[in-house]
């Protein structure tokens, strides 16, 4: 099924772009750097109201959910998307009544970034306190693993571990601030990352790993492996102990060795080959979160293999996944590069197969689609290599995203989300993470190319995010939810707004004129 927008959606998108462009120009004329103010106020609110003030033990850990009206953490929040977004039977992923430091990582990054940007050290100090509180309260005594991630969290009302009964350690997708954690608590951070090697890597020769820390073979999802690689690479950067570099390269080699030698495509979970579709198909999980973490490893170690392999995956997907006629990407490729167009006919897990074209906007927290992160990876790879083929990929993503603006309810599994939150039919919009990743992507594409249209798009999406999500001095996680929610990617949005803020510092009058021309250009380009 084509993901090309119907004509009414195109017209709405064009009107939206032009109106928000005008608002962005006015905002910049009145205040050239408004975005840091939203971030600063949101972080002030979190530091004042968003820490663990509940149960018998208080600490500086941030709660995962905060009511935007009362600024309290609800012990029993409204159900809303607890299963529609987090999947049936996996409501623990939402970390209700709890703290989950895995999803605070981008927030921590934004706190350090804001202190650097403004010279106000209170935000970095707050981040340091949160790290210390995490290590003091949320590490399991039996396994030595953190109480965070997609299976387990710290309940701030009971002061105990919560989540699914098994409580597996599983970290996916997001950027752990390992360097910051190590700077604050080197002994504890070293122990955690050593435990990750011991408990997640099931074959210390081939690098085959399991997303769960039970020491057994299991799902070797690319975005879980990326988390391991990034952790080991950071430890090498901190200690210069070659053991950590070898660990990173060993795990990275698992997927690299399993790629198709002709197409350079690799399955998301090659250990499941012949068992499940994700063992024999490539998705944007590889070109998005996995490639992103490989680039993290390159920057931490200087080892060019990490960057070269990330670029190879991105260019392979560009070659076989781009549908020039539809101006978008296929979501699922066979190893020979053939796109999977029609839904799979099997039952059970096959319902999660992302056939057809990619769906940009998230309707489920973990799926086989990470198109916005794939876009971010493409421009980051170009920034690091200067490879023109990677810029082509980034510009293709730019066109795909622009066609489907404004940020809105996604189509794949969108019906379930709409049923869970019916007001979405009136409000539209998506999760904070979608706004943040879109903003960051366009900022980096602007900085790489100098094309003012991309900066204008970043500001338009930022303005939309502020209008839909900013309430009472804090960002909520979704337009249809009355809560700030860490698991909805508010931290991603905060950090992207600071990137945007840096990009629009003190614009020259001549630049404003060019932006006006660029805004009209958006309208003209869209009507072609």
Q: For residue range 208-245, what is the model confidence (pLDDT) as tens digits?
A: 999 999 989 999 999 999 999 999 999 999 999 999 99
Model pLDDT for residues 519-528, shown as the tens digit of each residue: 444 443 343 3
Range in 22-26, 334-338, 364-368, 453-457 the model is least confident about: 22-26
CA contacts within 13 A on the Cβ side of 9:
14
- Quote the pLDDT of residue 463: 96
- As given in the structure block, the two tokens for residue 444 are 């980096």
Q: How confident is the model at residue 166 (pLDDT cuts 50, 70, 90)?
A: confident
Distance from the first to the final alpha carbon of the chain: 23
Residue pointed to by tokens 């935007």: 68
Q: What is the largest CA-CA distance in the chain?
A: 62
Mean pLDDT of 266-271: 98
Residue 201 contacts residue 250 (beta carbons within 8 Å) = yes
Give the closest residue to 5 by CA, choosing from 420, 523, 288, 409: 409
Mean pLDDT of 382-396: 98
Q: How confident is the model at residue 23 (pLDDT cuts 50, 70, 90)?
A: low
Stated as kind and residue range, the H or E segment containing 152 is: strand 152-155
Mean pLDDT of 179-186: 98
Count of helix runs (H) and strand runs (E) in the chain? 19, 11
Residue 199 contacts residue 143 (beta carbons within 8 Å) = yes
Please state the pTM of the whole predicted model.
0.90
Mean pLDDT of 46-67: 98
**Angle 452-469/490-503 helices, nearest 10 degrees?**
140
Residue 290 contacts residue 223 (beta carbons within 8 Å) = yes
Q: How confident is the model at residue 248 (pLDDT cuts 50, 70, 90)?
A: very high
Mean pLDDT of 316-320: 98
Calpha distance 154→133 (Å, rounded) = 12
- Quote the pLDDT of residue 511: 41
Q: Cα dihedral sign for 437, 438, 442, 448?
A: positive
Q: How confident is the model at residue 19 (pLDDT cuts 50, 70, 90)?
A: low
Range in 111-115, 262-266, 276-280, 422-426 the model is least confident about: 422-426
DSSP secondary structure string for all residues of 17-71: HHHHHHHHHHHHHH-S--HHHHHHHHHHHHHHHSB---SS---SPBPSEEETTT-
Mean pLDDT of 468-496: 98
Mean pLDDT of 94-107: 98
Q: Parallel, antiparallel, or unpaired: how do β-strands 152-155 and 333-334 relate?
A: unpaired
- Quote the pLDDT of residue 348: 82
Mean pLDDT of 14-30: 52
**386, pLDDT greater than 50:** yes
Mean pLDDT of 49-56: 97
- Quote the pLDDT of residue 354: 96
Calpha distance 466→35 (Å, rounded) = 9
Residue 41 contacts residue 494 (beta carbons within 8 Å) = no
Residue pointed to by tokens 């005008």: 22
Beta strands in 257-342 (DSSP E): 281-282, 322-323, 328-329, 333-334
Model pLDDT for residues 322-335, shown as the tens digit of each residue: 999 999 999 999 99
Mean pLDDT of 26-37: 64
């Amino acid at each position: 099924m084509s993901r090309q927008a119907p004509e009414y959606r195109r017209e709405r998108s064009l009107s939206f772009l032009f109106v928000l462009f005008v608002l962005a120009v006015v905002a910049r004329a009145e205040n050239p750097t408004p975005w840091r103010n939203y971030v600063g106020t949101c972080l002030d609110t979190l530091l004042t109201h968003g820490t663990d003030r509940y149960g018998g033990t208080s600490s500086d850990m941030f709660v995962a959910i905060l009511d935007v009206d009362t600024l309290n953490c609800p012990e029993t929040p409204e159900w809303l998307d607890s299963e529609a977004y987090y999947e049936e039977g996996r409501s623990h992923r939402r970390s209700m009544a709890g703290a989950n430091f895995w999803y605070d990582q981008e927030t921590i990054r934004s706190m350090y970034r804001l202190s650097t940007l403004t010279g106000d050290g209170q935000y970095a100090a707050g981040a340091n306190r949160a790290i210390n509180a995490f290590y003091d309260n949320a590490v399991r005594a039996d396994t030595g693993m953190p109480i965070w991630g997609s299976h387990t969290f710290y309940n701030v009302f009971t002061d105990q571990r919560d989540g699914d009964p098994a409580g597996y350690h599983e970290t996916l997708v997001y950027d752990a601030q390992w360097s910051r954690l190590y700077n604050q608590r080197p002994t504890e951070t070293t122990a955690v990352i050593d435990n990750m090697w011991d408990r997640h890597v099931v074959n210390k020769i081939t690098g085959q790993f399991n997303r769960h820390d039970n020491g057994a073979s299991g799902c070797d999802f690319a975005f879980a492996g990326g988390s391991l690689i990034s952790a080991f690479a950071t430890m090498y950067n901190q200690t210069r102990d070659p053991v950590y570099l070898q660990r990173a390269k060993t795990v990275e080699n698992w997927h690299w060795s399993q790629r198709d030698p002709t197409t350079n495509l690799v399955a998301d979970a090659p250990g499941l080959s012949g068992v499940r579709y994700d063992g024999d198909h490539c998705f944007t999980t590889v070109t998005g979160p996995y490639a992103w973490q490989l680039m993290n490893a390159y920057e931490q170690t200087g080892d060019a293999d990490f960057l070269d392999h990330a670029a190879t995956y991105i260019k392979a997907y560009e070659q076989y996944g781009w549908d020039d006629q539809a101006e978008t990407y296929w979501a699922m490729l066979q190893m020979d590069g053939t796109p999977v167009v029609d839904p799979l006919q099997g039952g059970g897990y096959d319902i999660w197969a992302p056939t057809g074209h990619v769906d940009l906007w998230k309707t489920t927290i973990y799926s086989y689609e990470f198109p916005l992160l794939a876009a971010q990876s493409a421009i980051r790879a170009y920034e690091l290599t200067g490879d023109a083929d990677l810029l082509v990929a980034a510009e293709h993503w730019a066109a795909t995203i622009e066609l489907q603006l404004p940020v809105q309810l996604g189509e794949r599994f969108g019906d379930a989300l709409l049923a869970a939150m019916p007001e979405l039919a009136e409000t539209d919009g998506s999760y904070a993470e979608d706004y943040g990743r879109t903003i960051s992507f366009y900022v980096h594409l602007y900085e790489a190319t100098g094309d003012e249209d991309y900066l204008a798009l970043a500001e338009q999406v930022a303005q939309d995010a502020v209008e839909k999500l900013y309430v009472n001095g804090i960002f909520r996680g979704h337009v249809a939810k009355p809560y700030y929610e860490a698991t909805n990617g508010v931290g991603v949005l905060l950090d992207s707004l600071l990137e945007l803020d840096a990009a629009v510092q003190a614009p020259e009058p001549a630049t404003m004129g060019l932006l006006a021309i660029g805004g009209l250009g958006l309208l003209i380009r869209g009507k072609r």
